[in-house]
Each structure stands twice: as structure tokens, then as C-alpha cells.
Amino acid sequence: MHATSPTARLSRFAIIAVTGATALSVAACGASNNAKPTSAGPTSAAPTSSPSASGKGNDWVRGLIDSVSGNTIQVSQRSGTATVDFTPSTEVAELAPAQLTDVTAGSCVSVHPDHQSASRGGTGITARSVWVSTAVDGQCPQPNRPAGAATTPPPAAPAPHHQVHGQVTTVAGNTITVNSVDPSGNSSQTTVNVTDATKYTKQTIADAQALTQGKCLAAHGTTDGGGTLQAKAITVQQADNGSCPEPGARHHRH
């Protein structure tokens, strides 16, 4: 249904994967079937982030899909209901639980460290969660910077509590070596240690058929004058007992 080439779409999805890992944890939503918003209509509550003055599509809607009618999605958020419109050019991706065997040399990862990593010493980090996606032409695109983010490149060796984005060079037992490249083209390697508590998530390309009632949704795009988000990209995942994890919440293995 998409006119864009598979390589171009994969490239954008790799960027979405990294961005999503940074902004959403694991497509965090923050809505529940058991606690419907009291908002009277889809335009009575704004998306999670305010409309972007730059018009570059930096607005977000995160929540539980209430209904899908044609190209319009009604979403329950903690702040109320929201409306998301999509088109055949909207990029759609789906998240699913994964495991360490899905992390292979050459794949792209975004690693959210355990905050205790900083107190354990050493040069590596311990992963709380690992987000994995497919490399494009052998490379992992740089993550998009949120609006207002500093433009100064990060240090070559990331601090233990910072997220790590990059391409896997080796996987040996419970140790993953990740090669990261900053916006200036400088590369560095980080040793990532995984444990039995590490959570893995894999992102794959999907289409509009994946947009169904009861799933968690994270969409970004531009909010129009009527308060509807015109989505450039949508990521979905299965809800957990009818609810979605809150942004930044700690995830546990089941």
C-alpha cells in the first residue's frame, strides 16, 4: 500500500525505533479500558505534546485504541480522548516481545540502562531493556532529536545512566558490544551486560491492518487546526490486560 521503496521505509523505521525507545520506553501509552476518559469528544483534549510551532511533525498521541473507522483512530489517553488520522503514506510499525537471541551482530539496538549501573563501576552498562530493529544498508540511522534538545554531540563514552543507540558488533553470552556513532561521525563502543531481568522488544514493519481496537498506540505527526493529529508514523503493540504502560515506567519480565 506504500509507494516508498522498502529500503527507504526500513531506514525511517530504524529511526522510529530508536526515537521510540528514547521517547516512549516501550511505546508507552498510559490509558486503560477500565478507566475511560471523561472527555466528551475527540477534540476536547490535546495530544500529549503541544502542537509544534515548527510544523516538523513533533506532536505525539499515546494511548489505547478505542476504535478505527476508515482512516481515523480514536485514542484514549490519560488526559482525555484524541483523534489520529492516517494515510497510505503513514509509516506503521508493530512492537512485540523478543529475547536475547533476537539480538544479533549487525542489528540495531537502543539500550535503556539499569540505573544501578552507575554504582557498579566498570566501563560497561547493565541493560534494563533492549529495543532491537533491522539495520538499513548495514547501518543504523541516528535517532531524531526531540524539539528543544541540545545540539552539542554527546561524549564519546556515554555515562552509565545514558541510553545507548547503535549497531551490535558482537554478542557473546550475556554481553553485547554496541558501536555508536554521534552526529559528528565519531564512533565509540559500549559493552552492554544483560541479565535475566532484561526486557527485549523487537520492532517490525506493519501496515494499516495492525491498527486495531484494544492495542496501545504511539503516533507522531502534526496537529491540525481541529486538534486531530495527522500521523506521519504510528507504532502499536499489544496491551497488557487492557492497559498500556505509562511513559518511563519500569518494565518487568513476565
- The C-alpha angle 63, 66, 67, rounded to 5 degrees, equals 130
According to the model, what pLDDT value does residue 171 have?
97
Specify the amino acid at residue 70: G
Letter for the amino acid at 142?
A: Q
Q: Where are the domains of the chain?
A: 6-95+202-238, 99-138+161-200
CATH superfamily of 6-95+202-238: Nucleic acid-binding proteins (2.40.50.140)
What is the pLDDT confidence band of residue 32, given thresholds at 50, 70 and 90? very low
Q: What is the pTM of this model?
A: 0.64
In whole angstroms, what is the distance from residue 125 CA to residue 127 CA? 6
Smallest CA-to-CA distance from 171 within 101, 93, 83, 253 is with 101
Average pLDDT, the chain: 75
Whether residue 72 contacts residue 85, with contact meaning beta carbons closer than 8 Å, is answered with yes
pLDDT tier, 143 (very low <50, low <70, confident <90, very high otherwise): low
245 vs 60, which has greater pLDDT?
60
Bridge partner residues of 168 (DSSP): 178
